[in-house]
Every structure is written in C-alpha cells, then in structure tokens.
Chains A and B, each alone.
Chain A
Amino acid sequence: MIERRQTIFRTCVGVWIAAAAVCALAAPARCAVPAGGPPAQIEVTDEVGRTVEVPQPVRRIVSLAPSLTETVFALDAGDRLVGDTSADDFPAAAKTIAHVGDSLAPSLEEIVVLHPDLVLATKDMNRRETVEALARLGLAVYVTDPLSIDDVLLSTSHIARLIGAGDRGDTVDQEMRVRLFDLTMRLANIPPRRVLFVVWTEPLISIGKRTFLADALAHAGAQSVVEIADGWPQISFEYVLKLQPDYLVFAGSLGDANAPPIEELSKLPGWRDLDAVRNGRIAIVSDAIDRPAPRMVDAIEQLARMLHPEAFAAGATGNTSEIAPAQGSEVCATCAR
C-alpha cells in the first residue's frame, strides 16, 4: 500500500517535472492553464450550517466515517471513493481503499495527496478541528449530522446530488421509504417494546432520545427507556433496574466484545437481575444499525422481526409489497428464545 502511494506520488512529481520542463521550453510564453476554464462548482449548505463549494463533477471522494463509505457505495459511486478510514469494513471493497487513518485523528497529509473533490465527514464521528483544517487547505468538506431516520434519508439524497448520482439517490430513497412504510403498517397497532439499547456494557452506555438510533428503534417498534436528550450517555445501572426494559438490544454479532452472550450476562451481578436477561429477551441486531446509512433499514427490519415476530407471521397485515431479504447483512443474528 505504501509502495503504491509512493509510486503515485512519484508519478505526480514526475508529471510535474515533465510539465515544468515543457513550460520552460515554451518560455517566454506563460504556462497555460488547460482549456476549459475554471471547473463548475455548486455551493451548498451542509448539515451543520457550513457553506461548502463543491467542484463538479465529483470524481474523487474521501470518506471519514464508515456510514459515509456505505452511503457512497449504496449510491453506486464506490469506484470514486479514493480514501476511507481504517474502521470501514462494509462492503468488503471498502477495506481495500487507501485508509487515511481513523475518524478521530486522520492524517491530513494523506487526505491532501488523494486530491479529493469532496471529503465527507459526520459530526458524531469526526472532530470539528479536522473539518476546519481541511477546509482551510481548500478542500470541499461536507458534514452530515443525521439525528433521525428521516435525516439519514435526507443526507443520502444530499450526497447523491453532490456527487451527481441524483437518480440512484432517488431510487435508494424510494426503496428505503417503501420498506419503512411497510414496517410502519405492520407495526401500526402493536404497542412498542420498551428496550435498552446497549452501546457499551462497562461502563453502561446507551443512547439519547435525539439520535438516529433512538429513531431507528422507533421504526422497529421499540422505544428506548432512557430519558436523556442527546448523544451517548453513560447511565447508572440502578436507573436501568428501576426501568426494567422488556428487551436489551445489542449491535454486532454474538460473542462480540460489546455484545456479551446471554449466558455471560446472566452471571453478572446487576445484569442478572434484569427481567430481560432472566427471560432471555436479548436482541442482537446487525451492527448496520450503528451506521446512519441506507443499510440501516436492513437492521431496522431485522430488529422489528425479533421484537415483533407476530407482525411478520404468514398472513399478517402489512403492505402488499414483499419484504426484501435483508441485503448484505453479514450477521445472522439470533434472538434468544
């Protein structure tokens, strides 16, 4: 990988030297800018209120969060992604793209040499300082800030328009809306399950009300028991014991570091006193639910099926369209008996 980058770099330098030589030979005529004038660009306001001028067409994209990488791939623009972060693992092709570091502390140098037309960042994963520094270097940085499923859909459409994939964006948007509407219909008359979404077990970290995850739960016929507005609060176990959620929801695959198997939880003090643990009511949903990208709908459907199997039984009411099997979901999640 480093060698390849070195080669690219040397090629760039080589091209520059050649160009300089040509210019020197052509002296005293001034080195002309290639014909075509300045590239067209569009000015947009991103989701945190910054004004961004994005050159058109967007040929090279750097993504600074796994969800944004997924979104770009979902828009069939994965081949234009020239850089992503070391945590980006979906789809598999994302792993082979040059990594620019992690979301929190990416290498600005690596991003610069990739010459992106557009850098995608997200408020929750990236630092404001990174975004500001990249903007000062003259790069177009679009920051998303999805706080609900609707925001996720809107972000996807915004990005689709920016990169000239509006049609594909509309298709993705349509498909997601149909599937979400189908879920809404199926779950219409079913009271939501009271759940605790566990982001982390030690310390216990859950989700606030004003997050895309809380909204994802709502779409899956669940309601987070945590009554805290923003972000990813660390909460006390007593609070959870008092609330006694119907279900615990974990993201990830069974045996994951942050999703301990039920047997283990049922031995831990505190956890074993939860009704949900005693009754084996633990749902482990695809980690796609953690990522505000189109694939999230797969995870929402998966969770809805775990929490409300009756709504998906043969003959259950719902939208007439058939439910697409969870595409690309890597985890075959199981729900405890």
Chain B
Amino acid sequence: MRPLTMRRVGWVCALLTAILFAVSVMALKLGAVPISVSDLVVSLARVAIGRSAQLPSDYRLIVFDLRLPRILAGALVGAALSVAGAGYQALLRNPLADPYVLGVSSGSALGAILALQLLPQVVLATPIGAFIGAILTITAVYYLGRREGQLDSTTLLLAGIITASFLSAIIMFLMTTLASRDLRGMAFWLMGDLSTPLAPSLRWFFVVALVVGIGAIYTTSADLNLLVTGEREAMHLGVDVTRVKLVVYVAASGLTALAVSASGAIGYVGLLVPHVMRLLFGSDYRLLIPASALAGAIGVVLADTLARTVVAPTELPVGAMTAIAGAPLFIFLLRRSMR
C-alpha cells in the first residue's frame, strides 16, 4: 500500500468533488421536463450573480425548488449511508456490514414510524425516533452476533438479516393495523424514496447533523486503521477502544437514522460505496471516510436520477435502483470472502 499523504487525500477528494459536481449538473439537467444545457447554464449563472428574480418561474420551481433540493437530499443520504457502512465495517471487522444488511435501516424505519404515529406534532420526532431505533437495533445485532464472547462474522450477518426481517414484519403489522389508509405512501417510503423534498425547516438540521456525524467518524479514522487488525492489538497500540467504538457506533447509527428519516430505507449504498473506494484507493480510513462520503453522494444522486427518468413521468423508488446494483455485489463479495 502506498503511504498516505495529505496531498493524496487532497487529490482524491478534489477528483471526487469534481465528479460529484458534474453528476449534480447532469442531474439538474435530466428529468421529466427537458431543460437544455445552455438554459441551465444561463439560469445557474443568474443565480450565481444574485439575479435569481429574473428567472422564469418554471425554471425556478423545477431547477431550484425541485431538482436541487432533491440532489442535495440524495447527496446527503448517500454520504451518510456510505460513511455509516464504512464505520460498521471497521468496528465489526466485517466487509459485508452495512446499515441495511445489519437491520439498522429497518430499526430506524420502525422508530420513525412509531414516532410519527405516537407524536405526529413534535418537530424532529421522526429523526429522533429513527435514531433510537438505530441504536437499539445495532446493540441487539451486536450481542446476537457474538459466539463464545467473540464477534463472529457469519453469525453477525445472520443476526443482522434476521433482525431486519423481524423488524420488517413488525412494520408490516403496524402498517396494516394502525395506518391502513396511509399504507400506499409508507410502502413507497420503505423502499427508499427521494421524490418529495425535505421540509425546508429541517434542511439545516440534516446538513449540520451529517457534518457532525461524518466528522466524528473521521476523527477516529487513524484508530480504525488499527482496530481492523483486532481489538486487543489496537489496545496494545494505545487505542482507547471503548471510546472509539462508542463514537463510531453512535455516529454511524445517527447517520443511518438521518438517511432513513430523509428517504426511507435505501439499501446497499453503505456496502457498495466503501468497497469500490477500497478497491480504488486502498483501505486507509483517513482516505476511505472522506472518499466514501463523496462517492456515496455521487452514487445516490446517480441512482435517483435514473429512478426519476427511466419511466418518466412516473417515478421509481430510488431504493429499487440501489438494490438492483447492490444485491449482486453483496453475493459476489460474500462468495469471495467465503473462499
């Protein structure tokens, strides 16, 4: 492995940021309503020089009130899920860990639904409910995934998958009993859906929470590099293992909760993205965390652009897109790790 320099981190991040920018511009252009590149450039330029009032109202609504918030939400969700995935993979020393596979997404969804049912008027009830759900789920999966006091890779995955299906069953039960008339909407949300923009009042909360969550995991990245070799080894090398684990578990669960309350359960992003980044740039967490955040943003924005254009004007849930790409990769990685 090549030694990691600040310069290399800088280059990789700059490259990914450029790609994210290009993908976002493409996503701004594509959609059910066609917009030409020149029109898009003109309107972006106008906004840049502070003359947004001169935009035709169609442009303002479609580009700035519909597509841009959606791209931002997609980027936010992608970054959150990828970093959460990378964090879980380090802590659990399992390359197949991912918020969706571990059941944390389902736990978040259940928490969010309960919060929405019990406290519909409370601001932030959904993200907080999702957070509590995520923490409880990862704790349960962590303890279920141990064998003779040791974390066992296969047992952990099984525990996650079983927990996920158990929680999904509870969600189905709640949906048919409590909220049968909202069933259609919820079913769509559970598949992972970005079609409705985040409420503007919550946008800043989400951005700040995302930065805090990713930042928290990033501060532990040097320790995570040591932790992947084993907890005892890391402890001997002076890592405060308990603190690192606590920070990463809480932050990764918080990021998952954030993503789920913004868009439902979008699967496999947290698995796919860190893996591709590892293949491309090596497994040093000091580079892997920022690279995963940016690449996750790219991936979800791309997937969502596909979701809203392939059968336009009808829209697909973005989770269907990520699952189509992610599930085969999961099988591939699983088979490779078995060998």
Which B residues contact A (CB, under 8 angstroms)?
A: 31-34, 39, 54, 56, 58, 61-62, 65-67, 176, 180-185, 188-189, 195-197, 199-200, 308, 312-317
- State how many residues of chain A have any CB contact under 8 Å with chain B: 40
Given A12-B56, A16-B56, A132-B196, the answer on whether A109 and B181 have CB atoms closer than 8 Å is no
Q: Contact at B196–A5, with CB atoms within 8 Å?
A: no
B58 close to A231 (CB less than 8 A)? no
Q: Contact between A130 and B180 (Cβ–Cβ < 8 Å)?
A: no
Q: Which of A6, A13, A110, A232 contacts B313 (CB 8 A)?
A: A110
Within the complex, the shortest CB–CB distance from B98 to chain A, in Å, comes to 26
CB of A231 within 8 A of CB of B200, answer no
Q: A25 in the interface, Cβ–Cβ < 8 Å?
A: no
Q: Is A2 an interface residue (CB 8 A)?
A: yes
Decide: A110 and B185 in contact? CB cutoff 8 A.
no
Additional A-B contact list (12), CB under 8 Å, known A5-B33, A13-B56, A130-B196: A101-B32, A106-B315, A107-B308, A107-B312, A107-B314, A112-B66, A113-B33, A127-B184, A129-B185, A137-B61, A230-B180, A231-B181
Residues on B with C-beta less than 8 A from A237 are: none
Candidates A109, A130, A230; contact of B32 at CB < 8 Å: A109
How far apart are B118's CB and chain A's nearest CB, in angstroms? 17
Interface residues of A in 3-34 (CB under 8 A from B): 5-6, 9, 12-13, 16, 20
CB distance from B135 to the nearest CB of A (A): 26
The minimal Cβ–Cβ distance linking B120 to chain A, given in whole angstroms, is: 11
B197–A124 CB distance below 8 A: no
Distance in angstroms from B90 CB to nearest chain A CB is: 35
Contacts of B54 in A (CB 8 A): 20
Q: Are B181 and A2 in contact (CB under 8 A)?
A: no
Contacts of B62 in A (CB 8 A): 109, 112-113
- The complex places the Cα of A322 from the Cα of B314 at a distance, in Å, of 44
Inter-chain contact A110/B188, CB cutoff 8 Å: no
Question: Smallest distance from the beta carbon of B29 to chain A beta carbons, Å?
Answer: 12
Chain B CB within 8 A of A105 CB: yes
A128 touches B31 (CB 8 A): no
Q: Does A198 touch B at the CB level, under 8 Å?
A: no
Chain B neighbourhood of A86, CB < 8 A: 314
In the complex formed, the residue of A with least CB distance to B53 is A31
Determine how close the nearest CB of chain A comes to the CB of B58; give it in whole angstroms: 5
Could you mark each residue 97-114 of chain A with 1 if its beta carbon is under 8 Å from any beta carbon of chain B, else 0? 001111011111110110
Interface residues in A123-169 (C-beta closer than 8 Å to B): 123-125, 127-130, 132-133, 136-138
- Check A233 for interface membership: any CB of B closer than 8 A: yes
How near does chain B come to A137, taking the closest CB pair, in angstroms? 6
For residue B308, which residues in chain A have a CB less than 8 angstroms away from its CB? 107
- Is the Cβ of A129 less than 8 Å from the Cβ of B181? no
CB-defined A-B contacts under 8 Å, sample of 12 = A9-B58, A99-B313, A104-B188, A105-B317, A106-B313, A107-B314, A113-B33, A127-B188, A128-B182, A133-B197, A136-B65, A138-B61
